[in-house]
Amino acid sequence: MDLKRMGNQTVVFANPPVILASYSVVGPKEGQGPLGKTFSKVWNDQLHGEKSWEVAESKMLQEAMQGVIDQAGIPKEQIDFMLAGDLLNQIISSNFAARQMALPFIGLYGACSTMALSMAVGSMLIDGGFARNVLVGVSSHHDTAERQYRLPTEQGTQRAMSAQWTVTGAGSLLLGKSGTGPRITSATVGRVLDFAVTDVNNMGAAMAPGVSDTILNHLHDLQLKPEDYDLIVSGDLGAVGLALAGEVLKKSGLDMGTGFMDCGVMIFDASQDAHAGGSGCGCSSVVFAGDIMQRIKVGELRRVMLVGSGALHSPTSSLQGESIPGIGHAVVIEA
Amino acid sequence: MANQTLRKPTIAVTPEQYKSLSQQFSPKPTIAKNVVRAFVVGGIICAIGQVIINLFATIGLSRTEATTAGTATMIFIGALLTGLGIYDEIGKFAGAGSIVPVTGFANSIVSSAMEFKREGYVLGVGAKLFTVAGPVLVYGIATSIVVGFVYFFLH
């Protein structure tokens, strides 16, 4: 049997899995942002009537997943796996959502890159013949992330200019072996790169090398150029990371041109006080499930590369003096 | 389909070069603006504190009593504004100007208490109350003990 691998680290699907449906749920700040109209559902407040932010985040993920199942109209019995991840310790948002969904569950952790990672793994399961339909989804919540990674939310401090704002949002997709919709044609699983960034307020800088490495290898593996894509979009590099990745790739001989964007830059505008932009698993998942899927459907975009970006740190390792490793996972979606 | 023996594409930047690139592309902290805001807001908070202490003095409290009562009042105001969700907005504007005064100390304790209430009163509020203020207390008290010894032996 022929390997479905190309080059160093890219898989090319023989029967590209179809994105049958997409659904996104976001918090109020994201709803007020420039992409507000592209989301399936906007919550009016961060707690949404739940007893804690953690419960709210898990409910948000469930809503997104149920939304995608309803939209696709596929009976749950035909969904063979659920893949999910989030930013909290022991990925509790996903575990508790999986408890409600009652599907065979694989929990994933790729920090903020988890959406692209779950799309890659889900596509491999389908193209490998292990599943008919796979439900993927991720979530993040501003307040659960703040209290786990940083300070109490009512603490009166100033955020650094390079800091990013964790997106409250959950995005979900239903991937299928057959049907109509955009297809996931290839995926490049990233390597962990660490360029000794220790500033926890500059995640974009920590992730840019990993993302650049994945883009470079993807294009080299498939012998393609940035112009072959209508859009190459990173997950949550933010303004600082996006500029850095562009520069690193330029020095490595790749001019990314104007088709290189970042979900974290797209989701908020300058008036929203998000500093360098949005971040978190939710960021790339809702921008992809909302805005990018819409633009693919109307024919504006025909070939998109989503490069999920993850900063693989923990408050513990940072306090112990470790630097912040970064990773990027790429998936290619074609209309 | 498989072309096996590759591996070269590696980004052409060394960690040292990346460090300077990263500094070049990261926005600089707005120090001048922050200092001015901290000075003004910190000054206003202290002026309010002084007014309150003077008021206590006019109703007959001694200087020491008035200072204690004034400080307690400022702590109450800091805690109240934290509970109302206002102090973090002041902090975002003023930075050190609202962290350093005693109202900021109240903010750090009350915000922790509010944050961890959902984990219960013992292992939540009880255990996490001093997450932010703890280091200030530990090193503040330790320093005062050292200074106390120095004072004791010099006199």
Q: How far apart are CA A274 and CA B62, in angstroms?
A: 49
Chain B partners of A243 at a C-beta cutoff of 8 Å? 25
Best of A3, A154, A195, A223 to mutate (most B CBs within 10 Å, chain B) = A154
Number of domains in chain B: 1
Give, in order, the Cα–Cα distances in Å from A186 to each of A65, A123, A267, A303, B4: 24, 9, 25, 11, 17
Q: Which residue from A4, A195, A202 is facing B18, i.e. has the nearest CB?
A: A195
Q: How far apart are CA A26 and CA A29, in angstroms?
A: 8
Closest-approach residue (CA) in chain B for A243: B25
* Residue B25 placed within a domain: no
Q: How near does any CA of chain B get to the CA of A133, in Å?
A: 26
- The domains found in chain A, sorted by start residue, are 5-176 (3.40.47.40), 183-334 (3.40.47.40)
Q: Which residue from B25, B29, B118 is facing A160, i.e. has the nearest CB?
A: B29
CB A241 within 8 A of CB A205: yes
Helices of type H across B1-133? 15-25, 31-58, 63-83, 87-94, 96-99, 102-116, 127-128
CB A135 within 8 A of CB A75: no
Give, in order, the Cα–Cα distances in Å from B3 to each of A7, A24, A111, A216, B7: 6, 39, 31, 17, 11
Q: How far apart are CA B116 and CA A147, in angstroms?
A: 9
Low-confidence ranges of chain B (pLDDT < 50): 1-2
**pLDDT value of residue A150:** 86
* Residue B5 placed within a domain: no
**pLDDT value of residue B5:** 63
* Residue B3 placed within a domain: no
DSSP labels for B18-50? HHHHHHHHSPPP-HHHHHHHHHHHHHHHHHHHH
* Residue B100 placed within a domain: yes
Residue that has been written with the tokens 């920590």 in this structure: A206
CA-closest candidate to residue B101, choices B84, B85, B115, B81: B81
CB A155 within 8 A of CB B108: yes
B129 touches chain A (CB under 8 A): no
* Residue B17 placed within a domain: no
* Residue B47 placed within a domain: yes
* Residue B18 placed within a domain: no
Half-sphere exposure of B26 (CA within 13 A, CB side): 23
CB A140 within 8 A of CB A283: yes
Chain A partners of B78 at a C-beta cutoff of 8 Å? none
B9 touches chain A (CB under 8 A): yes
**pLDDT value of residue A335:** 93
**pLDDT value of residue B155:** 85
* Residue B48 placed within a domain: yes
Give the structural domain span for B131. Answer: 33-154
**pLDDT value of residue B1:** 46
Split chain A (335 residues) into runs of 10 and give each run's mean pLDDT: 86 97 98 97 96 97 97 96 97 97 97 98 97 98 93 87 95 97 98 94 96 96 96 97 96 93 96 93 97 97 97 93 96 97
